[in-house]
Structure 1
Amino acid sequence: MRFSHKRGFLIRAVALAGALATGSGAWAQTASDWPNRAVTIVVGFTAGGPTDVVARILAEQLSARFNQSFVVDNKAGAGGGVAATLVKKAAPDGYTLMFGSSGTLSIAPNLQKSLGYDPLRDFTAIGLVASYPYFLVVPATSTMATFDDFLKKGRDPASNLTYASAGNGAVNHLAGEWFKAETGVKSVHVPYRGDSAAVTDLVGGRVDWAFLAGAAALPQVKAGKMRILASASATPGRGGEGILTLGESRYKGFAAEPWNGLMAPAGLPQPIVAKLNTAINEIMHRKDIVEKLAGMEQYPFTGTPQQFTNHIKEQTERWGAVIKAADIKVE
């Protein structure tokens, strides 16, 4: 009887070992011939926004590089949370990826108690892709012609300044609160449902200022409807010659620069991670891609998967401190 039990145990153990070996072999085979069918890149925002535009540029280039379709699928909602929850549940086989954003990965965890996903635990970081600075803008009709004019007026409580954002908890809302704390400017926050509505009221002079992405601000500046007073970046030269760079010259460390990166469900095989990371880094630094991004005030922002993970952690702490200091809450 004992022998029979022992023999049965040995048979099961051998079978299990064989299954594991077969499974690991299958994973290795999957990684070696990946991709052999279409890949979906899920974007948590509507088409046409800064995150979506860069995702489509990358998808087009990855399609050409790997000779397979990389298709962008927009799943807007909950500040990217709908897409994150969807991708979290997908198989980690490299055929469902997520184009994550700073708001989804480093701001939402500080604002929402029941997030539904953990940016570090539930995903595999593949690679950072691009970033873009916000610009401090005012209506073209504003009496604040320079940044120093802005500071003088903004520090006077009698001015009753207001600033617009894409909504409570949006990056340009947090940037506004951080900026107020750094400069002593007094201003009331006016949240909108997205940047487009904020732009309309800013151009119309119904709000006094805002931090806006180049994609939203520059067309209005070129049309003579807005004025740029500064770049909310730590890197000089962004926004054009003569544009004041806040984080470089006035307020060291100040940088409101949303970023994005490619992720996969947790457990993506490392050979696929390596393939994609190498491809991203090479694509985003090609001259033609750099020039295409520059036309939209976007900039390559790449690195290793570990650097991506570290950046998520650092940004989560940075924005968490801003949220706590300003006592920002999202219903």
Structure 2
Amino acid sequence: MNRRVVLGLAALCMGAGVFSASAPAQAAAYPDKPVTIYIGFSAGGPTDMVGRLLAEKLGQKFGQSFIVENRAGASGAVAANLVRKRAPDGYTLMLGSSSTLSIIPYIQKGIEYDAIRDFTPIALVASYPYYLVVPADSKFKNFSDLIAYGREKDSRLSFASAGTGAVNHLAAEWLKSETHINAMHVPYKGDSAAVTDLIAGRVDFALLAGVVALPQVRAGKLRILASASSSPDKGVQGVMVIGQKEIPGYAAEPWNGLMGPAGMPKEIVATLNTAVNQIMSDPEVKAKLLKLDEYPYSSTPEQFKQYIQDQSSRWEGIIKKSHIVIE
């Protein structure tokens, strides 16, 4: 009996040892099947370009497929609602954006998700500055020209955006509020449509991402008056930075960050966070992003969460001051 008890206890101990050894191995095995990254915007835009580069590099790093799925609609809300309902196992992720997480919940009625409660922040990925641009033949040769005209009693300025509630819409409303100019908002379905009318002179100005604006600037069809970058180190060098010269604190930089459904295991979040930070610090990736006028981030999940809260507070104030609502 004593021998059988000893053998039995030994077997239990061995089993426990196997179990405890396998637990970390299982966690370390992530991902062991394809991962889907949802993007709430159409293919070819800034968020999609960054998402596809990130997915490619994550796939190389983990030796597993990271598949991009575009689910455009409602400034990313369609994708957000889809992702928040999925299992928090790390196999359904989202490349969140500033509009999806820090604007739409405060501007559009009927939004069902909360940017903090319903998602797990993993890592900030990249951001890009807007440029204040005008048609190449515009009478406004610099930022001061535009503002001086916009302050005139009978001025009829107009500005284009990617749609009501888009980051470049709110950025222009912020500019209007701070400079006291008169300017009428002309919303479009995306930046591409806005650019066509801007080049043609049917609208006076717009705040556009470099990936959209800079090719037209190089082609001689648009002219940059200023940058809405948070730092003179970002964006086209030699361009006046609004927040540095004219409006202290002014910055309009749409951003992206990797997220998952609420309740993801901390081990998987840590694994993905480390991978994203390593990818964003890779010189090859930095060079590719720079060609898109994008700038990489490095962050902890906690820093990303705080960033969402800070950005939300900023844009919520502008939304309320401008009385913007999407039914």
The verdict on a shared fold, with TM-score over 0.5 as the criterion, is: yes
* 1:16 paired residue number: none
**Who is 2:175 aligned against?**
179
Residues 1:105 and 2:107 aligned together:
no
Partner of 1:128: 124
Distance in 2 (alpha carbons) for counterparts of 1:276 and 1:45? 22
The residue number in structure 1 matching 2:33 is: 37
For residues 50-70 of structure 1, give each alpha carbon's deviation from its aligned partner in whole angstroms, at most 9, with x where no partner exists: 001000000000001001011
Does 1:302 pair with 2:298?
Answer: yes
- Which of 313, 319, 323 aligns to 2:319? It is 323
Deviation at 1:158, TM superposition (A): 2.1
- Describe the superposition over 1:268-288 as per-residue Cα deviations: whole angstroms up to 9, x where unpaired: 111111111111111112111
**TM-score for the superposition, normalised by structure 1:** 0.90
Name the structure 2 match of 1:226.
Answer: 222
Cα 1:25–1:260, aligned 2, differ >3 Å: closer, same or farther?
A: farther
Unaligned runs of 5+ in 2: 1-19
TM-score by length of 2: 0.91
Question: Residue 209 of structure 1 aligns with which residue?
Answer: 205
Structure 1 SS opposite 2:259 = strand
Of the structure 1 ranges 176-185 and 197-206, higher mean CA displacement relative to structure 2 is found in: 176-185
Name which of 271, 279, 282 aligns with 2:278: 282
Q: Which residue of 2 aligns with 1:13?
A: none
CA distance in 1, matches of 2:153, 2:319: 23
Tell whether 2:75 aligns with 1:79: yes
1:166-214 per-position Cα deviation (integer Å, ceiling 9, x unaligned):
1111111100000011112211111111111110000000000000011
Alignment-derived partner of residue 58 in structure 2: 62
Q: Retained in 1: the 8 A contact 2:43–2:70?
A: yes
Asked whether the equivalents of residues 41 and 97 of structure 1 are also in contact (C-alpha less than 8 Å), the reply is yes
Relative to structure 2, which stretch is displaced further, 60-69 or 242-251?
242-251
Identity of aligned residues (%): 57
- Corresponding position of 1:18: none
Could you tell me whether the CA contact under 8 Å between 1:139 and 1:202 is conserved in 2? yes
- What's the counterpart of residue 150 of structure 1? 146
Deviations 1:8-27 (A, max 9, x none): xxxxxxxxxxxxxxxx9998
Alignment size in residue pairs: 309
Aligned-partner Cα distance in 2 for 1:239–1:263: 26
In structure 2, the residue corresponding to 1:157 is in which secondary structure? coil
Please give the root-mean-square deviation of Cα atoms over the aligned residues, in Å: 1.7
Gaps of 5+ in 1: 1-23
Q: Does 1:95 align with 2:110?
A: no
CA distance in 2, matches of 1:189, 1:26: 59
User: For 1:46, what is the secondary structure of its paired residue?
Assistant: coil
Cα deviation for residue 30 of structure 1 reads 4.5
- Structure 2 residue matching 1:158: 3-state secondary structure: coil
